[in-house]
Every structure is written in structure tokens, then in C-alpha cells.
């Protein structure tokens, strides 16, 4: 989800925008492919929303008020390593995944705001569920896409400086991460790229229905992805952001990689549906994804930390519970996760 309001529209990236004006991609200059036309990346869908729709949404109102703070479970203090699979919710789309003797973190965000600046933009209403001081040594950072609530450069740089870990990202995001830190090595991959992290752990980048942008003029110029994480204890499916569309990606991934021990899926930032449905699924759609993936369990994220869209802070959890009941699925199978919550599975 992009940053809302004036900062999102006004934020410029210097030379990147000069390149865009010349019809060049400032992040990636690879060959034309099935999902890259030489300038933009695509997930195969027609683009149906633009700036006019964005301003229509902003002017319509209807945004529910959020509290200044929102209680979460007790902070987690993870072990240095974990037996089996241990997943801690750090906050928003950030999870610490401990499996196969490795510690992975998705879309780390320890900053106060999901924004290019720390004086404006969406502010968190709860602290990270794992304090940075309690974060074990990280072996790899997994970045899903470049929106500010998923690619927080300060957090990525902070972890890298402490742990000198690997950084895995979709094509073009390496350029963004290294813009002010050319000393950092980032491994950038296309959809279908499989990366071995250890003898028993691998990640594969797979497509999702989303888009990318850091500002007003670089839409879809860096790739976005979800991750299949293979471990000795079973596979995990992690999505940072996605719409549902026709669900074909998820059925394909379920057939190719399933069944999964766990699916980590967004359930928030979905209202108003006329604007958000293309790129953000709602809880009912998230349940369909869990079923398509043949996932034993699921965790719902992307709610309750940053107010990005219209729905009230509790609405995603309540909607998930209602949709589970309507589908006769036990609440324990798909939990609406909050920072500090832990999910574990034995080997």
C-alpha cells in the first residue's frame, strides 16, 4: 500500500524521475520478458485505477477513526534459533520466521512511520512485537515490494549493519536499497527465482496481484512478489500485499508447491472495495487463498498497526471471524495476528 496524502504525491526521487521522463526505468534495465515490457512490470491485469480514482477516494471521506494506541499481546523474546517452525509477528507485514536453523525476516519495519519521512505519514499505533534489541541474528531479509510500509530502508540498513545478512528482493528493489548504501549486496530475482539459503531452506519468488511505487512517477518500475519458503518442517507461503482477482495465482501455487504448513496472508487495507479490490484482498478472499494453497493454518496480517485505508481498526479481525464461521472453518485455523503473537509447529 502506498503512502497516502500529499507526501506520497510530492515525494520525488531525484535522478529516478529524470530517468522516467526520458522513458527509462530508473531501477531495472533488463530484457523484455513475459512480465516486463522494457519500462514497466505487469502481473497480466489491465490497470483500472489511476490518480483520478485516488483523489476521488481521498475526497469522499468515510475513513473510520482509529485509537492513538491499540493493545497487542505481550512482546515476544525469540530464541537464538528454533526447533521446528517458529513465527513471530513483528508488526504489519513483518514476521520473524525461524526454521531449519535459520532466522528470516520479511519486510522489516521498526520505524515509527510507514513513510519516506518521519514527521508525516501513517504512524504506528503499537510498538514492534519483537523489540529490535531482542531480534536474534538474522540470516536473510525477504522484501516483497517497494511500498513504504514494506520496504523501510532504515530498518533494512539497521539489520544489515548489525548482522551482515543476505537480502533477497524482486527485480529493481536492489537499486532502491543500494541508492544510499552502495556497499550493501542485494540479491534481486524475477518470479520463479529459487534461492538456496542453506542445505534445508530455500525461498522461491512467486507472482501476486499488486504493483509498486515509491512516489508519483515510478509506478510498476520495480517488481513485486510473494515467497514460498521451503524448510525441513514444511513449506510456508508469505504474501506482503495482493488482490484476489480470479485467484489463479493461488490455485497454481497450491498445485505447484502445496500443501503448506502455514500461509501468512494480508487481511487488511481493503476499504473502499471499489478502489482497493484490485490490489488488496479482504478477509473472505484471504480464506479462499488459504484453501487454494491447501494450507494447514494461516495468519492474517496487514491490519491493526498502520491506518492506510478506510476500515476501522478491528474490522478486519471481525470480518475474518464472520467469514470463517460462514465457511464452517475453525477460528484456530486462520488467526488474525497482532504484533507479539507467535505461531509454532513441531518438526
The domains of the chain are located at 6-345
The confidence score (pLDDT) of residue 20 equals 55
Rounded Cα gap, residues 100 and 87, in angstroms:
12
Mean pLDDT, rounded, for 32-58: 92
The DSSP secondary structure of 162-218, one letter per residue, reads: HH--EEEEETTHHHHHHSS-TT---EEE-TT-EEE-SSS-EEEEE--S----SSSS-
The confidence score (pLDDT) of residue 16 equals 54
Q: What are phi and psi of 11, to 5 degrees?
A: -65, 125
- Whole-structure pTM over 0.75, yes or no? yes
Question: Does the pLDDT of residue 1 top 50, yes or no?
Answer: no
Q: For 247-262, what is each residue's pLDDT tens digit?
A: 999 999 999 999 999 9
Q: What is the CA radius of gyration of the chain?
A: 19
- Parallel, antiparallel, or unpaired for β 187-189 and 295-301? unpaired
Q: For 81-95, what is each residue's pLDDT tens digit?
A: 999 999 999 999 999
Q: Which residues of 111-137 are buried (b: 16+ CB within 10 A; e: fewer)?
A: bebbbbeeeebbbbbbbbbbeeeebbe
Instruction: Give the SS3 label for residue 85.
Output: strand
Q: For 102-151, what is each residue's pLDDT tens digit?
A: 999 999 999 999 999 889 899 999 999 999 999 999 999 999 999 999 99
Output the nine-digit C-alpha cell for 253: 501455487
Mean pLDDT, rounded, for 165-185: 97
Strands (DSSP E) contained in 78-151 are: 85-91, 94-99, 102-106, 140-142
Mean pLDDT, rounded, for 164-178: 98
The confidence score (pLDDT) of residue 69 equals 96
**Cβ proximity of 145 and 102 under 8 Å:** no
Rounded Cα gap, residues 180 and 18, in angstroms:
18
Is the peptide bond preceding residue 272 cis, with omega within 30 degrees of 0? Answer: yes
Question: Does the pLDDT of residue 21 top 70, yes or no?
Answer: no
The confidence score (pLDDT) of residue 82 equals 96
Q: For 214-234, what is each residue's pLDDT tens digit?
A: 998 999 999 999 999 999 999
CATH fold, domain 6-345, is: Metallo-beta-lactamase; Chain A (3.60.15)
- pLDDT class for 4, splitting at 50, 70, 90? very low
Amino acid at each position: 500500500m502506498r503512502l497516502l496524502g500529499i507526501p506520497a504525491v510530492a515525494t520525488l526521487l531525484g535522478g529516478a524521475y529524470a530517468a522516467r521522463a526520458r522513458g527509462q526505468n530508473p531501477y531495472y534495465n533488463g530484457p523484455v520478458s513475459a512480465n516486463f515490457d522494457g519500462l514497466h512490470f505487469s502481473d497480466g491485469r489491465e490497470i483500472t485505477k489511476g490518480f483520478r480514482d485516488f483523489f476521488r477516494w481521498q475526497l469522499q471521506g468515510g475513513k473510520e477513526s482509529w485509537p492513538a494506541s491499540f493493545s497487542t499481546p505481550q512482546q515476544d523474546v525469540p530464541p537464538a534459533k528454533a526447533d521446528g517452525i517458529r513465527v513471530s509477528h513483528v508488526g504489519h507485514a513483518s514476521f520473524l520466521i525461524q526454521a531449519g536453523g535459520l532466522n528470516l525476516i520479511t519486510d522489516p519495519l521498526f520505524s515509527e512511520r510507514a513513510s519516506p519521512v518521519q514527521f508525516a505519514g501513517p504512524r504506528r499505533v503499537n510498538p514492534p512485537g519483537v523489540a529490535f534489541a531482542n531480534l536474534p541474528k538474522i540470516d536473510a531479509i525477504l522484501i516483497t515490494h517497494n511500498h513504504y510500509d514494506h520496504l523501510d530502508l532504515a530498518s533494512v540498513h539497521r539489520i544489515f549493519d548489525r548482522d551482515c545478512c543476505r537480502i533477497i528482493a524482486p527485480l529493481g528493489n536492489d537499486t532502491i536499497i543500494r541508492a544510499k548504501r552502495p556497499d550493501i549486496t542485494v540479491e534481486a530475482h524475477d518470479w520463479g527465482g529459487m534461492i538456496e539459503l542453506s542445505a534445508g531452506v530455500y525461498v522461491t519468488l512467486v507472482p501476486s496481484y499488486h504493483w509498486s511505487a515509491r512516489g508519483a512517477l515510478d509506478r510498476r518500475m520495480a517488481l513485486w512478489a510473494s515467497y514460498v519458503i521451503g524448510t525441513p518442517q514444511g513449506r510456508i507461503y508469505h504474501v506482503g500485499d495482493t488482490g484476489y482477482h480470479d485467484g489463479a495465482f493461488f490455485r497454481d501455487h497450491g498445485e505447484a508447491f502445496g500443501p503448506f504448513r502455514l500461509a501468512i496472508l494480508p487481511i487488511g487495507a481493503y476499504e473502499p472495495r471499489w478502489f482497493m479490490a484490485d490490489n488488496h484482498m479482504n478477509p473472505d478472499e484471504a480464506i479462499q487463498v488459504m484453501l487454494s494453497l491447501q494450507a494447514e493454518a494461516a495468519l492474517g496480517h496487514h491490519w491493526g498497526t498502520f491506518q492506510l485505508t478506510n476500515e476501522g481498526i478491528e474490522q478486519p479481525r471481525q470480518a475474518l471471524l464472520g467469514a470463517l464461521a460462514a465457511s464452517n472453518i475453525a477460528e484456530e485455523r486462520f488467526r488474525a495476528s497482532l504484533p507479539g503473537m507467535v505461531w509454532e509447529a513441531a518438526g
